[in-house]
Structure 1
Amino acid sequence: MKNEHPRIEIMDTTLRDGEQTSGVSFVPHEKLMIARLLLEELKVDRVEVASARVSEGEFGAVKMICNWAAQRGLLPRVEVLGFVDKNISVDWIYNAGCRVINLLCKGSEKHCRFQLKNTVEEHIANITQTVMYAAQKGLDVNVYLEDWSNGMKDSPDYVFQLMDALTKLPIKRFMLPDTLGILNPLQVIEYMRKMMKRYPDVHFDFHAHNDYDLAVSNVLAAVLSGVKGLHTTINGLGERAGNAPLSSVQAILKDHFHAITNIDESLLNEVSRVVESYSGISIPANKPIIGENVFTQVAGVHADGDNKNNLYCNDLLPERFGRKREYALGKNSGKANIRKNLETLGLELDEESMRKVTDRIIELGDKKEVVTPEDLPYIVSDVLKHDVVSEKVKLKSYIVNLAYGLKPMATLKIEINGKEYEESASGDGQYDAFVRALRKVYKETLKRKFPMLTNYAVSIPPGGRTDAFVQTVITWSFEGKVFRTRGLDADQTEAAIKATIKMLNMIEE
């Protein structure tokens, strides 16, 4: 590249293209929250927040975002997709308060002739009229060349004829989408360099789709070719196989190309979790940068290497992304992984004790049980028969019942620091009733805070037997810390209760 450290503009389209993910629909206040996170926290350069003419609800969402953005001087960075439709989209966008239109034009002759039933001359005339009308209304205009990838592949003369005409108009950016995700990196370089050579003064954006799992590779090929802007989404959301995920694009731009962006990568994980929650689309555990497991070492030899001059670390340090390195516990752990977890807990064991604890964790791993770092003190206590974790909270007795047509009830007797308490409550399920009774003890009787349950996962071994053990893993949030506890039992409610009592002992410690 001519510029050793290229500056790349990031346009995030989570709220437009990302919302085209099957099953995803953001309500207006969610759209506003995500737009705020993208612009003020992550510091993306631009956000595409909607498509024009979708619905009254979408109009209200755009208006809300634009009002907020205008108060903070961010309105020029908010964009809406519009269409060549006799000015209807321009008026819709203008009336919503937005001042940037991303005009969707046809970047391939096939789309122009068969979808619009236009000649290229007719399409150019219609685009020209829309662009000039938008300019008269005071809107900035960017242009999408929809299906540009197939256009360059099958009808490059059409693309160049279209571009020759449009570059004479007041258009700020030309955005080149691989609409159907058909390109590979070599094709991106070939086609993008043809565009750059013919139109050297034009600002080009590249918009990738992930149908062949090449979106990130294609984005980087576009940067190598001199593109000035990239389109991304949070968590790779988008139609079909999705778009290029911002987290991966940012990491590779910085580490492999030494490119400059405005992104605050320390907040990528936090924003990804918010979008995961709003979208209902779970982040795969092994998704680079933001997946739950990507900074977790499993093999004991890796943990040992980390102790010896960070032999198994690369530039993707978890602290960059607001995360920390973890060491999994299981049959592959070895002493190094276990020792790393013990160090976090402030526990030190001699070699013989380490051997016993390691053997127990391997035994559990062979049974396919998940061993979490939070389980480790209990394993140590069980193996070594001393009170590494004292049982300050003991469940003395409880009863839960379920009757048709009635809410489940729970009554429990619990000992906390040597004193017994008894409470009853109803709930939406047996476990819910049990937790409500516990909350009464802590909040009403003891006047103490009670942790918030943030996730509840249940699994059973393969095979589907009705007598299989049930494993319940519960994630809690308490005083700014997030942690998990696990319970194992033949009964799901009992497993959840065991996990809850573990949690109560942890907060007592």
Structure 2
Amino acid sequence: MNNIQLNEKTNVMHSYKCDNEVENVAEANLYRDIFPYTEIPKVVFDNKNIPMNMPKDVWITDTTFRDGQQSMSPFTVEQILTIFDYLHKLDNGSGIIRQSEFFLYTEKDREAVEKCIERGYEFPQITAWIRANKEDFKLVKNMNIKETGILMSCSDYHIFKKLNLTRQQAMEKYLEIAEEALANGIIPRCHLEDITRADYFGFVVPLVRRLMELSAKANMPVKIRACDTLGLGVCHDGAALPRSVKQIMHGFTHYCNVPSEWIEWHGHNDFYSVVPNSTTAWLYGCAGISSTLLGIGERTGNCPLEAMIVEYGQLKGSIKNMDLTVLTDIATLFEKDLGYQIPHKTPFVGSDFNVTKAGIHADGILKDEEIYNIFDTGKILNRPVVVAVNEYSGLAGIAAWINTFFRLTDDKKINKRDPRVITVKEWVDEQYADGRTSVIGNDELEKIVKLTFEELSDDKKVEVIDYKVCKSKRGTFRSVQDKNLETSKR
């Protein structure tokens, strides 16, 4: 059933689907024409024009301790507390990292939450996650947490195959637990699992409209988290449901009258689309984006929190007073303390994300690092641009490495025509002439450069590397076994 009403945002008449009753089908709708399973899923288009509708205020939520932790060895209480402290420092009072989500199932989980609560931080706010049953709900009440996520699987894959329920039975179950939360003064955040394979108008819209009725009756928010569980969402113009992120977001605000500040998107990266899908959710009516630090999570992972911080800055023109240098500290913590290996080329946090290896690029950086660096990574992330040295680097690459590694500026910069740069290059060339295939390490170059450039050496006793040394007209690096022996320099 449709009716026509004046839309207060657009000031024109709109047609609304108003049926609150679930379409209680006898058989599961698995959208086999879109998801054949034995083939790659299909992207279908209906060419609907969905208007952009970005909320005035948008933010990021964190699920590192819930969805993210499931993919790693369990964090200790102290590790959770350290990461939580880092999230607070990263947010720096901006409120952009709005909430952090926790499990409550084990004694360790609850101890960690208690210690985080004791910190008394305004941001990130602490929320919980439970399954849709009353026993789990008791955990939230006992911890005195003001908001909890509640699992509400909404595709027929889950309703029929996992829960062995009908759509009507699933809806009644979900409404009952949401009503229980509201009765106890706790905000329910309804996690609509597998929404990108769900019957949007046959189940999702009726469920969300009923949840909004409960909200109005209790005079409390009921939040909606749209979960792209398998990363099937697409952000193309004109893409059709159930995969269209734009139509999912538009439907919540247009057909269900959900305020943007109650809507959250939770994506996965199975099809490499987690960041553009999350950004699209923002642009089309969603205020909150669920994420994890470094994108950790099962299978291909969640939306990286650091990626959405940068997306926020690009869309809003400012990151307020966030301290993005903390991202570098977080990356170090994950690698050194948690044993998590960040792929070297991961944007913003990988060891090589702003490392240049191409000689022609190094020449550009030598002239002005802005030519080949995405932004001032030294200032914003405490990660100065770096030039890696290999057999193709040339004089420009070596000079650029020296300037970036030692952070030389203005008149202190080394020019590629400096004869001492040629000396270092001859040493590099000999490494590869002897069969080396790997990039020259920073530690190796540092020693050679300090031997060659006296002004850069902070100690006359320079540790000598064990490689065969370079002999040239300009200098000799002597190979000595006693690493504490004072080394002469020419």
Shift of 1:390: 6.5
Any idea what SS the aligned residue of 1:283 has?
Answer: coil
Q: Counterpart amino acid of 1:237?
A: I
| C-alpha distance in 2 between matches for 1:194 and 1:205 | 13
Q: Counterpart amino acid of 1:191?
A: I
TM-score (norm 1): 0.69
Match of 1:12 among 62, 68, 91: 62
Shift of 1:254: 1.8
Q: Work out whether residues 354 and 373 of structure 2, in 8 Å CA contact, stay in contact via their aligned partners in 1.
A: no
1:288 aligns with 2:347: yes
TM-score (norm 2): 0.72
1:361 aligns with 2:428: yes
1:178 aligns with 2:224: no
Write the deviation string for residues 221-248 of structure 1: whole angstroms up to 9, x where unpaired: 2122221110110011011111011112
Write the deviation string for residues 279-324 of structure 1: whole angstroms up to 9, x where unpaired: 4221111001111011112223222212434322333634211211
Match of 2:129 among 75, 81, 100: 81
Any idea what SS the aligned residue of 2:371 has?
Answer: coil
1:225 aligns with 2:284: yes
Write the deviation string for residues 190-209 of structure 1: whole angstroms up to 9, x where unpaired: 33223332134432110010
Q: Work out whether residues 53 and 283 of structure 2, in 8 Å CA contact, stay in contact via their aligned partners in 1.
A: no
Task: Please list every run of 5 or more consecutive structure 2 residues that lacks an aligned counterpart in the other structure.
Answer: 1-50, 216-220, 237-243, 407-411, 469-478
Aligned residue in 2 for 1:248: 307
Shift of 1:275: 3.2
Aligned residue in 2 for 1:193: 250
Q: Work out whether residues 366 and 399 of structure 2, in 8 Å CA contact, stay in contact via their aligned partners in 1.
A: no
Aligned residue in 2 for 1:375: 444
Shift of 1:374: 3.7
1:311 aligns with 2:356: no
Aligned residue in 1 for 2:107: 56
Task: Please list every run of 5 or more consecutive structure 1 residues that lacks an aligned counterpart in the other structure.
Answer: 395-484, 490-497
| C-alpha distance in 2 between matches for 1:505 and 1:232 | 52
Count of residue pairs the alignment pairs up: 399
Aligned residue in 2 for 1:34: 83
Any idea what SS the aligned residue of 1:222 has?
Answer: helix
Q: Work out whether residues 365 and 400 of structure 2, in 8 Å CA contact, stay in contact via their aligned partners in 1.
A: no
Q: Work out whether residues 102 and 113 of structure 2, in 8 Å CA contact, stay in contact via their aligned partners in 1.
A: yes
Shift of 1:120: 2.9
Matches within 5 A, 1:7-156: 7-21=57-71, 23-43=72-92, 44-50=97-103, 52-53=104-105, 55-66=106-117, 68-69=118-119, 71-72=120-121, 77-85=125-133, 87-151=134-198, 154=199, 156=201
Any idea what SS the aligned residue of 2:214 has?
Answer: coil
Q: Work out whether residues 8 and 228 of structure 1, in 8 Å CA contact, stay in contact via their aligned partners in 2.
A: yes
Aligned residue in 2 for 1:467: none
Check 1:104–1:501 CA distance in 2 against 1; reply closer, same or farther (3 A cut): farther
Q: Work out whether residues 451 and 462 of structure 2, in 8 Å CA contact, stay in contact via their aligned partners in 1.
A: no
| C-alpha distance in 2 between matches for 1:174 and 1:297 | 43
1:272 aligns with 2:331: yes
Any idea what SS the aligned residue of 2:64 has?
Answer: coil
Match of 1:237 among 296, 302, 323: 296
| C-alpha distance in 2 between matches for 1:499 and 1:324 | 33
Q: Work out whether residues 7 and 260 of structure 1, in 8 Å CA contact, stay in contact via their aligned partners in 2.
A: no
Check 1:253–1:486 CA distance in 2 against 1; reply closer, same or farther (3 A cut): farther
Q: Work out whether residues 358 and 392 of structure 2, in 8 Å CA contact, stay in contact via their aligned partners in 1.
A: yes
| C-alpha distance in 1 between matches for 2:267 and 2:320 | 18
Larger strand proportion of the pair: 1
Check 1:384–1:48 CA distance in 2 against 1; reply closer, same or farther (3 A cut): closer
Any idea what SS the aligned residue of 1:45 has?
Answer: strand
| C-alpha distance in 2 between matches for 1:503 and 1:258 | 53
CA-based RMSD of the aligned residues comes to 3.5
Shift of 1:128: 2.6
Write the deviation string for residues 441-463 of structure 1: whole angstroms up to 9, x where unpaired: xxxxxxxxxxxxxxxxxxxxxxx
Aligned residue in 1 for 2:41: none
Check 1:352–1:280 CA distance in 2 against 1; reply closer, same or farther (3 A cut): closer
